[in-house]
């Protein structure tokens, strides 16, 4: 399992800048924790100080570094983080094998469609009537797959995921523990008796191929029709997706963000952490929304936004800078008023 630096060079497509090709490493670690048997990487300039002090056996570095630590082997690569992942995969390739089968404690309805020799159903999982589990999929312990729900091929549902009735997951979907897919949308109408009446939520959630969904994230089913998560989109933990939302392909939604009902988000959109997007809005392709923003208008694609209410990033940044100087501004205006009153005593 050990790798020579020559082998590391080959695996990562890099160039050995400093060090002997025959030296060996046996694992991976961070710059600050690595010993002489470990590879590490410099992926963010914030860690430059750790880099200069590292005792790693080799460091994967980007081109154009101004300074090196003394006596440390270095391999230059275009993208150190990506290259390092290849090493991680190498050292982790002895992980536990995937063995198909249905755990005796799982409860699988006789009408469920699955090939017991090609799927794994964990302990205590519940597969309800008419649900369909694609080959190669792994349903973790304690998951509940509702009636007539569909899980595609090669999906990985970690422990205690809930997919409610009729919802559909594509193939190669990964869901972290505790996520809920297909909860009822939040819709009520005030009745004449002063009580809210629930609006039936009879639609579904449809999730594309290669989507990832974070731990304890919630995605509501549509009122009717579909709540849609496009192919390749990645959703972090504790995110809330409202009913009838449509999210495009290859988007990123970071932790604790929320998207309210019926909003449409394009492709390649990035939504940073703790962002809120109001309902019935459109966000264009390749828009980026910075953390904690509050979006209450349509957003054109291809731009960066920030603030509450969200505006274009440079504008929001200027506003925040002005806010920092507000106490000074207030004092200036007070002085100007005093001076003006001195000049025009009759006006005051």
Residue 298 catalytic? no
Residue 294 burial (10 A CB sphere; 0-12, 13-18, 19+): middle
Question: Both tokens of residue 298?
Answer: 């349509």
- The DSSP line for 332-346 is HHHHHHHHHHHH-TT
Task: Tell me the torsion sign for CA atoms 128, 134, 135, 138.
Answer: negative
* Whether the Cβ atoms of residue 35 and residue 56 lie closer than 8 Å to each other: yes
Q: Cα 156 vs. chain centroid, distance in angstroms?
A: 16
Q: Token digits for 284?
A: 């264009």
What phi and psi values does residue 311 have, to the nearest 5 degrees? -135, 180
C-alpha distances in Å from residue 79, one per residue of 85, 179, 217, 273, 282: 10, 32, 31, 24, 34
**Of 158, 210, 243, 250, which residue is the catalytic one?**
243
Q: Which residues contact 32 (CB under 8 A, 6 or more apart)?
A: 50, 53, 54
Tokens of 238: 């504790």
CA-nearest of 15, 79, 2 to 41 is: 79
Q: What are residue 1's DSSP bridge partners?
A: none
* Beta strands 282-283; 212-213: pairing state: unpaired
Please, what is the Cα angle at 210 between 29 and 240, to 5 degrees?
90
In sequence order, the 6+-apart residues with CB closer than 8 A to the CB of 15 are 9, 75, 76, 77
Residues in CB range of 229: below 8 A, 6 or more apart? 205, 206, 207, 208, 211, 213, 219, 235, 241, 247
């Amino acid at each position: 399992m050990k790798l020579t630096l020559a082998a590391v060079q080959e695996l990562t497509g890099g160039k050995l800048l400093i060090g002997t090709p025959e030296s060996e490493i046996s694992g991976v670690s961070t710059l600050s924790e690595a010993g002489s048997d470990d590879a590490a990487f410099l992926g963010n300039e914030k860690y430059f100080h750790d880099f200069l002090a590292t005792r790693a056996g080799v460091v994967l570095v980007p081109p154009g570094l101004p300074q090196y630590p003394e006596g440390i082997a270095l391999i230059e690569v275009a993208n150190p983080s990506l290259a390092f992942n290849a090493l991680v995969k190498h050292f982790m390739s002895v992980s536990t094998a995937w063995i198909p089968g249905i755990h005796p404690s799982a409860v699988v309805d006789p009408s469920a469609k699955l090939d017991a020799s090609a799927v794994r159903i964990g302990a205590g999982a519940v597969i309800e009537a008419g649900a369909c589990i694609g080959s190669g999929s792994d349903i973790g312990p304690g998951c509940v797959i509702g009636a007539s729900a569909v899980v595609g091929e090669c999906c990985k549902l970690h422990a205690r995921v809930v997919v409610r009735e009729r919802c559909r997951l594509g193939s190669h979907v990964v869901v972290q523990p505790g996520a809920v897919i297909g909860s009822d949308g939040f819709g009520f109408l005030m009745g004449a008796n002063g009580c809210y009446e629930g609006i039936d939520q009879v639609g579904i959630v449809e999730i594309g191929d290669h989507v990832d969904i974070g731990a304890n994230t919630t995605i509501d089913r549509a009122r009717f029709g579909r709540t849609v998560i496009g192919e390749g989109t990645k959703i972090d933990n504790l995110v809330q997706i409202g009913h009838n939302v449509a999210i495009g392909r290859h988007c990123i939604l970071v932790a604790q963000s929320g998207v309210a009902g019926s909003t449409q988000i394009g492709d390649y959109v990035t939504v940073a952490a703790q962002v809120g997007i109001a309902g019935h809005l459109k966000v264009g392709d390749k828009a980026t929304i910075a953390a904690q923003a509050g979006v209450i208008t349509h957003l054109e694609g291809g731009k960066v936004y920030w603030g509450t209410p969200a505006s274009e990033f440079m504008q929001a940044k200027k506003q925040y800078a002005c806010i920092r100087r507000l106490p000074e501004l207030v004092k200036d205006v007070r002085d100007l008023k005093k001076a003006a009153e001195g000049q025009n005593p009759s006006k005051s």
